[in-house]
Chains A and B, each alone.
Chain A
């Protein structure tokens, strides 16, 4: 039995993606026995975000396109986990929220041109988040510990 997972990245530096891929140095074949990465655009050309057991979401939300996709991910996943500092807290991707007036005016035309929201937000501002794995990048030991818990929840024991 395999559970379907997706790995999604929004506005961030994708550091937790790199940490996950480095964890694969040790866990790829083990994970391959019980995880099916249905969506992982960094590694796959053909991706499917429907009917996921777990969606791991990295990055903050900066525009409506990201928000709309996040809502679809939530609708299509049994469990949604925020990964890394930007997804959990919005920071540091949200640093423009705290700019002074002059700096906000300096970047204003870019926000308008690319239809950005006025503020960058953590994902929990838009969807229910079942769990949080913080860190910049994510804490890899905590990720491994929590992954074992999730796998148990989905009936894969002793993973």
Chain B
């Protein structure tokens, strides 16, 4: 290929939301790379102000259709911390199941529909020939498991309705639990086949990086400490103080540094920091695959996602088999002025919601930090470092490789364009 050229990718495909990529190569050198998150801002940080606290979780769920359960759950956690409400043990279990349903559905969509076409060298899931119909059927079977888990536990898989501050309005019946158990148990072998595909995939782009994740005792994505591979351990409430917001003038999303350094959040970070907390049944079946971690190969993010699907299935089976669910009364809420922080692991990484309430229980101020925003600087730097290694290839190959490495992160642009007010210079 010529040593001076531009590549402009308008709307990176097979991701959620809108982003463009601009590349300028001059005299064989990378002169400019701009990853532009173009999702139009909807200003949730401003729009949430003055809302009564009880309406906030459903409202901020609309930040993202893909991971609405993550925003809802994180928002509820921030409000519970603010109002000093301790959810019951049953509520915590139902919350884990709700999040597991989302992770199963969301990871399955990304792996089967966005990543497998790259592995099998076709453009999309619509282009698989009949010999691959079994994979499409497996994709729908796994997505259905996640979808049904969310529907039965949380009410819906998108913008769910049962989960409230301090409780669930509805608990699953014995029949519903039995149906879920059958579906979950039947799906295990399909997921192990999926894990093998990503284990055997030879895609590679390695780069040392600081990996950051909420480390939980049971890999449940909800409560724990934030750790990084450079040795930092902090409490959830202190996360914001370790972040530095970086204004990216051409992007509708800010970027972030952790401890003043580039970092990555997401499944790869979780696996690098916490693989020993994976459910025992999953660990027993996946010992060979888990040896891959820690890894600095970005494509192992997808292997980590596949492993997380099995963990979510196995831990859901355990929770559903070991517990009976009974309707609980909502907690008594004493409205008070204050500040609360919720941090959970969303499918794409660490999600932070901070909320400040006034004495009437209305929102004074809110701040949300989104996983894809946190990965933006690393994604762009990956492109800068990948390009010199593929410049001799043709334009189609380069275009495809650039999209492929961004897809490996499973970015969600719909979420990313939410941040505090910024001043550009």
Contacts and interface: CB of A to CB of B under 8 A. Distances in A.
Contact of B63 (A13, A41, A66, A107): A13
Interface in A59-109: 62-63, 66, 92-93, 95-96, 99, 103, 106-107, 109
Q: What size tier do the contact residues of chain B reach?
A: 35 or more
Contact of B13 (A9, A32, A41, A137): A41
A114 B105 CA distance: 33
A25 B46 contact: no
B125 A14 contact: no
B411 interface: no
B16 A137 contact: no
A18 interface: yes
B124 A45 contact: yes
Contacts of A99: 43, 46-47
A24 B13 contact: no
Nearest to B150: A22
Interface string A6-39: 0001111111111101101110110010000100
Nearest to A21: B109
A47 interface: yes
Contact of B42 (A17, A26, A66, A95): A95
Interface in B109-152: 109, 113-114, 117, 123-126, 133, 136, 140, 143-144, 147
Contacts of A47: 13
Contacts of B13: 41-42, 44-45, 47
A12 B44 CA distance: 12
B159 A62 contact: no
Interface residues of A, number: 46
Contact of A42 (B16, B62, B252): B16
Contacts of A18: 65-66, 109, 157-158
Contacts of B113: 21, 43
A14 B11 CA distance: 15
Contacts of B126: 32, 37, 43-44
Given A45-B123, A96-B43, A13 B11 contact: no
Interface stretch (B296-304, B346-354, B379-387, B416-424): B416-424
| Chain B binding surface SS class | loop
A46 interface: yes
Nearest to B16: A14
A109 B423 contact: yes
A25 B140 contact: yes
B65 A25 contact: no
Contacts of A25: 140, 143-144, 147
Nearest to A27: B140
Nearest to B157: A22
A136 B421 contact: no
B40 interface: yes
Contacts of A109: 423-424
B71 to A, nearest CB: 9
A43 B127 CA distance: 11
11 contacts: A13-B62, A14-B16, A17-B65, A21-B109, A21-B143, A22-B147, A42-B14, A45-B117, A66-B40, A103-B46, A137-B158
Given A42-B14, A107-B46, 16 more contacts: A11-B39, A11-B40, A13-B64, A13-B414, A15-B66, A17-B65, A18-B157, A22-B147, A25-B143, A62-B40, A99-B47, A103-B46, A103-B49, A110-B252, A116-B40, A137-B65
Interface of A: 9-19, 21-22, 24-26, 28-29, 32, 37, 40-47, 62-63, 66, 92-93, 95-96, 99, 103, 106-107, 109-110, 113-114, 116, 136-137
